[in-house]
């Protein structure tokens, strides 16, 4: 997708290399963004929307504009986390009071999203796909559901991670890491802890 986006940019055709990741918590959505940044050798620009909401009217929209301007200034992986915090479905809101403010923030989000250049890869994550505004969702070229991994998939995830960085664990160590959990975040935390101990 990055190569396609680059070619279209050369043809002066706007195209967002943007993927919306949705699914239950702890399925590795943020970790996936870090992995893509590593594989592409690009910096990761991370924005968690739950942390930029401001109690002052209009300040949240300004915070969003600043973050998008910063991410757009260089080729990067731009991770938008917890997008359901602010991208409300405008059809289901009253348009008044706090609902009206959230609707305006959603519009700002889409306006800033449309300005992102082709060489910025956008990944957005949500646990509540059903809450998102349909116009915002339509801006993503790819929508990918993230499901909890099986034991075998978690084992392969560890092996791929270790292969990428030039390390290897034996089968017993990998089985011990994945035993009793399908939480990808916890599994990667255990993997990195064991790697740190070995190093």
Please give the structure tokens belonging to residue 197: 């101990």
- Smallest CA-to-CA distance from 84 within 32, 124, 138, 144 is with 124
Residue from 147, 148, 157, 143 nearest 190 by CA: 157
Q: CATH 3.40.50.1110: does it fit domain 2-145?
A: no
Confidence of residue 152 (pLDDT cuts 50, 70, 90): very high
| Cα distance between residue 18 and residue 143, in whole Å | 9
Q: What is residue 51's predicted lDDT score, i.e. its pLDDT?
A: 79
In this predicted structure, what is the pLDDT of residue 102?
Answer: 76
Cβ contacts of 191 within 8 Å, gap of 6 or more: 158, 161, 162, 169, 177
Residues, the chain: 199
User: What are the helix (H) ranges across the chain?
Assistant: 2-10, 29-40, 59-72, 97-115, 134-137, 151-165, 171-178, 184-198
C-alpha atoms less than 13 angstroms from C-alpha of 62 in its C-beta half-sphere? 6
User: pTM for this one?
Assistant: 0.77
Rounded Cα–Cα distance for residues 10 and 131 (Å): 35
Model pLDDT for residues 12-62, shown as the tens digit of each residue: 766 778 999 999 888 888 888 988 998 899 999 999 888 777 655 567 888
Boundaries of CATH 3.40.50.300 in the chain?
A: 2-145
């Amino acid at each position: 997708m990055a190569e396609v986006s680059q070619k279209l940019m050369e043809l002066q055709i706007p195209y967002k290399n943007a993927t919306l990741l949705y699914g239950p918590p702890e399925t590795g959505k943020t970790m996936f963004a870090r992995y893509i940044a590593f594989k592409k050798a690009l910096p990761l620009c991370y924005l968690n929307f739950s942390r930029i909401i401001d109690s002052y009217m209009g300040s949240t929209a300004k915070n969003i504009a600043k973050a998008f301007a910063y991410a757009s200034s260089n080729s990067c992986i731009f991770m938008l986390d917890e997008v359901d915090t602010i991208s409300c479905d405008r059809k289901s809101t009253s348009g008044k009071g706090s609902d009206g403010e959230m609707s305006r923030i959603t519009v700002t989000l889409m306006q800033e999203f449309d300005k992102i250049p082709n060489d910025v890869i956008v990944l957005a994550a949500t646990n509540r796909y059903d809450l998102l505004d349909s116009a915002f969702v339509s801006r993503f070229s790819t929508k990918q559901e993230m499901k909890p991994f099986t034991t075998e998939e978690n084992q392969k995830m560890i092996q791929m991670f270790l292969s990428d960085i030039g390390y290897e664990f034996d089968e017993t160590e990998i089985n011990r890491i994945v035993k009793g959990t399908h939480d990808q975040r916890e599994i990667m935390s255990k993997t990195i802890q064991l790697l740190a101990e070995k190093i």
